[in-house]
Amino acid sequence: MKLPIFLYGSKILRENAADADLMKKDEITALVADMEETLAAADGCGLAAPQVGVPSRILIVDGRGLEDVYPYLKDFKRVMINPELLEESRETCDYSEGCLSVPGIYAEVRRPERIKVRYVNEKFETVTEEFDKFACRMVQHEMDHLDGKMFVDRVAPIRRKMISKKLGNISRGKVSAHYKTRLGE
């Protein structure tokens, strides 16, 4: 089932998500299926549970639609339940980021080049994996959502000032998107 994506300004996007209860496998599996359908309909490359109104530490990253630009993402898709950042590199890199919760805004964000994450996958297996390049970027972006952070919090102050009017419009629901959105309290 396609779920509405909560927009910038929604309270749930600023809350710390709780660990998913791994004993509730059927609920998690159903939520993941709904998130995958929602992500595909929105034509995005990542989605965290808080973005669909569920305050749970679950995210999906899917780079398969980006393989023309990033060939190494050809088969890259991950479901991460209760991800935990174990390591991050000192080296950083800048990439332009956007977000389904902040339609129409893109900005350069500096993040670590490499990270190591431990998470539970959709088969409920514990995995420890290292990420680099754009895969690393996608994982970090979605993990931020689990901690109530958004990419616009990480942009340079001058850029933040430049986009402040657009952010205000989004938080008032004055935005157009080709997918179902919702503004939460």
Asked whether 180 and 2 are in contact (CB, 8 A), the reply is yes
Q: How far apart are the first and last CA of the chain?
A: 23
HSE-CB at 97 with a 13 A cutoff on CA atoms is 29
DSSP 14: G
108 is known as an active-site residue: no
The type of residue at 88 is E
Catalytic residue among 84, 87, 88, 142: 142
Handedness of CA 40, 44, 46, 49 (dihedral sign): negative
CA distances from 40 to 33, 47, 95, 179 (A): 11, 10, 22, 10
**How far lies 144's CA from each of 17, 50, 67, 83, in Å?**
10, 11, 24, 11
By C-alpha distance, which of 47, 50, 8, 4 is closest to 175? 8
The catalytic residue positions are 142
